[in-house]
Amino acid sequence: MKMNSKLLCVLANILTVSSVGVIATVAPNVAKADSKKTAATPAASHTETPNGAGLDAEVPSALMQLPPASKYYSPYAFVVDKKERTLNVWQQTGAGLKKVAAYPADMGRTAGEKKSEGDHKTPEGIYFLQTRLEGPTLDFSLYGQRAFTTDYPNFFDRTEGKGGSGIWLHAVPDKVALTRGSRGCVVVRNDIIAELTQYVRLGRTPILIQTATQMAPVAEVTKTNADLNAWLESWRASWEAKNIDGYISAYSDDFKSMKMNREQWKSFKERLNSQYQQITVRLSRPTILIDRNRAIVRFLQEYTSDMHADFGEKVLYLKKEKDGFRIVGEEWKKETSQVAREEIEATQGAATATANADTGKATHAQAN
């Protein structure tokens, strides 16, 4: 199906809906250390202090965009601060980002960023919780009542030659000090892992681990988010229009995917463009996360041409270069679930409704 230019513009604006609005913070700060007594401390403080000014508030600069009303992606993100020894839960709402919970946490017993197997360091970057482990398959004395695996090493870790595996978010028994130091995992109490479970959507809830959480004013985060959404829309529109030069300009010279480099990828796409008379590309509202000079963008993608059609999830791996972010890798996997189909239709429905409303306003203005 074709979408007119006005609808595409509205869709770009819909994708840009982000974190401007009321920001809530958690108080008080979570203590850095833990003892036997702290095991009985309430899981988290949920006292929220709304900031009416909104734009004067600060949020984690890594959390560019989490789809707020998504049934497919998670509106929650776990943000781990190694220096403060905390795990904070942030939620994207329609009004903006807010911190909904804060917990004490333990890290790798060796300071620094994980580089290799057995270094007992906690990695730093953007990861996603993958599987849930509990019951007889989990050693309670080591991992408590529940654990969530992560996707370490991720694309960037592998590209940089980092090694190791088995980095989890897990619990420990109450008798174990939360200052013991792990073999690289992020560790919380049993009652905390139980509470965190409500925020987990396997494969889609991010856990961002940093030496210290980088905070930024909402206005700054919103601008970067808008720029990235505009960049993504330009990439999509160039692909759909078979504008190969505009499309390939989004890719880094270091790009590699499907055993192809940038020039091979360009030739591959040019060959497909010559075969298809028409291409339509639809995207859902993306999840956008940034860590230092790297970013991960995840969205559902519907591709249709006169000869081929597919539907799945696309993941773009970006690196910030001197002239902006560029794609260094991408992945795609087929998606067949009904919730995924509803997600992309909801994005399109929101764009259509906004376009109709704008048309109505314009007509009314002309009549007046």
Angle 303-227-318 from CA coordinates, rounded to 5°? 65
The predicted-structure confidence for 168-211, as pLDDT tens digits, reads as follows 999 999 999 999 999 999 999 999 999 999 999 999 999 999 99
Average per-residue pLDDT for the chain: 85
Task: Give the pair of three-digit tokens for residue 4.
Answer: 């007119």
- DSSP secondary structure, 22-40, as one string: -B--EESPPPS---TGGGG
The predicted-structure confidence for 45-82, as pLDDT tens digits, reads as follows 333 333 333 334 899 999 999 998 899 999 999 999 99
User: Chain-centre distance of CA 345, in angstroms?
Assistant: 20
What's the pLDDT at 350?
63
Q: Identify which has the larger pLDDT, 198 or 41.
A: 198
Beta partners for residue 302, in sequence order: 282, 311
The predicted-structure confidence for 330-353, as pLDDT tens digits, reads as follows 999 999 999 999 999 998 766 555
**260 pLDDT exceeds 90?**
yes
Domain 5-11+218-367: which CATH number of 3.10.450.50, 1.10.10.410, 3.30.200.20, 3.50.50.60: 3.10.450.50
User: What is the residue extent of each domain of the chain?
Assistant: 5-11+218-367, 23-216
Residue 164, CA distances (Å) to 116, 117, 155 in order: 5, 4, 14
Could you tell me the fold of the domain covering 23-216? L,D-transpeptidase catalytic domain-like (2.40.440)
Closest to 153 in 3D by CA, of 124, 133, 132: 124
